[in-house]
Amino acid sequence: MILTEIKNVSLRFETDPSNFSPNNIDTGTLAMLSAVDFLPSDKILDMGCGYGVVGILAAKLIGYERVTMCDISESAVKQAKINAKLNGVPNIDIKISDGFCNIQDNDFTLILSNPPYHTDFSVPRRFIEVGFKKLVLGGKMIMVTKRPDWYKNKLTSIFGGVRILEINGYYVFISEKRGERVQKKEKTVNKLSKKLRKKQRGV
């Protein structure tokens, strides 16, 4: 049993060895949460929820009806449901989903994810490309990883920009879905900047 307090909320989590970070709350997840403020108006998707830290905290802060949690792992989803009950929010929508396959809504204000960065980039690539479409205008995708370059480039190419915070050895990426005209302008500026840097290097 993990007993912890995050954002002044007391939480407890049962885990088993098959879960990611079963003995303590993952440092990357804590880094990501330190960069997020959950608002009463938010609609949140916890993508790759594991045993439920992010989504359960959000539900405690703004209400279970504003939170969706999913994971590809059946055992993770089962554990997250147990932990939702343990923490007094048993009615959170928690489902098995390979990425966004079982996520129907397209009006999230926040999508949070601590993706599997020890594998290739096919999983986070889908998270970012499809996640952009699942956000409302002004919605944000927030991700945490230890591999900054690929995420910076990918999020910039899809969202038009990204803010990066370095916290406790992890990189937290925050990208906002903006108006189409703004995104096109920012993408054009980014392309021109890349061309200029290559020219300066003599590439």
Contact 85, 110 (CB under 8 A): no
Contact 172, 144 (CB under 8 A): yes
Can you give the pTM of this predicted structure? 0.84
pLDDT tens per residue across span 12-56? 999 888 877 767 899 999 999 999 999 999 999 999 999 999 999
Domains and CATH numbers, the chain: 2-201 (3.40.50.150)
List Cα–Cα distances, 24 to 1, 16, 36, 88, in angstroms: 9, 11, 20, 20
pLDDT tens per residue across span 126-180? 999 999 999 999 999 999 998 889 999 999 999 999 999 999 999 999 999 997 5
